[in-house]
Chains A and B, each alone.
Chain A
Amino acid sequence: MSAEAVTSGRPAAAPRAITRLGALPRPARLLLVAAVLAGSLLTGVLIGPAGLTARAVLLDLIDALPWVDLESGLTRQQHAILWQIRMPRVALGALTGSALALAGAAYQGVFRNPLADPYLLGVSGGAGLGATIGLVSGNAASVPLMAFAGGLLGVALTYGLSSSVGGSRGAAVLVLAGVAVAAFFNAVQTFLQQRFDDSLFAVYSWMLGRLSTDGWSDVVRVLPYVAVGAAVVLAHRRALDVMALGDVEAASLGVDPARTRLVLVLAATLATAAVVSVSGLIGFVGIVIPHMVRLLFGGSHRTLLPLAAAFGAAFLVLTDVLARSAMAPAELPIGVVTAFVGAPFFVLVLRQRREAA
Chain B
Amino acid sequence: MNPPVSPARGGSGRRVRALLAGAAALALTLGLAACGDDGDDEAAPAGASSAPAAGAGTFPVTVLSGPLDGGTELTIESRPEAIISLSPSATETLFAIGAGDQVIAVDDQSDYPENVPTTDLSGFQPNIEAILGYSPDLVIASDDVNNLVAGLSAAGVPTLLMPAPADLDEAYSQMERLGAATGHVAEAAALVAEVSGAVTSAVEKIPDVKGLTYYHELDASLYTITSDTFIGQLYAEFGLTSIADAAAAGGDQYPQLSAEYIVEADPDLVVLTDAEFGDVTVETARQRPGWDGISAVRTGHIVDLDPDIASRWGPRLADFAELIGEQVATLQPAAS
Residues of A within 8 A of B (CB): 48-51, 76-78, 80-81, 84-86, 88-89, 133, 135-141, 194, 196-202, 205-206, 210, 213-215, 324, 327-331, 333
Contacts and interface: CB of A to CB of B under 8 A. Distances in A.
Nearest to A213: B259
Nearest to A139: B278
Main secondary structure of the interface of A (DSSP, over half): helix
Contact of A202 (B2, B246, B260, B277): B277
B293 A76 contact: yes
Given A136-B1, A333-B256, 9 more contacts: A49-B258, A81-B264, A84-B290, A206-B221, A215-B288, A324-B258, A327-B255, A330-B244, A330-B247
Given A77-B266, A84-B289, A329-B261, A205 B247 contact: no
A198 B278 contact: no
Contacts of A331: 222, 255-258
Interface in B214-272: 218-223, 244, 246-247, 249-250, 252, 255-261, 263-266
B219 A202 contact: yes
Contacts of A194: 124-125
A198 B260 contact: no
A205 B2 contact: no
Contact of B258 (A88, A197, A329): A329
Contacts of B264: 49-51, 77-78, 81
Interface residues of B, number: 41
Contacts of B280: 140
Contacts of A86: 260
Contacts of A76: 293
A136 B1 CA distance: 7
Select the residue from A76, A141, A197, A329 with max chain B CB neighbours within 10 A: A329
Contact of A330 (B125, B250, B265, B279): B250
B11 interface: no
Contacts of B265: 329
Contact of B261 (A49, A135, A141, A198): A49
A206 to B, nearest CB: 8
Contacts of B219: 201-202, 205
Contacts of B258: 48-50, 213, 324, 328-331
A56 to B, nearest CB: 13
Interface string B266-310: 100000000011111000000011101100000000000000000
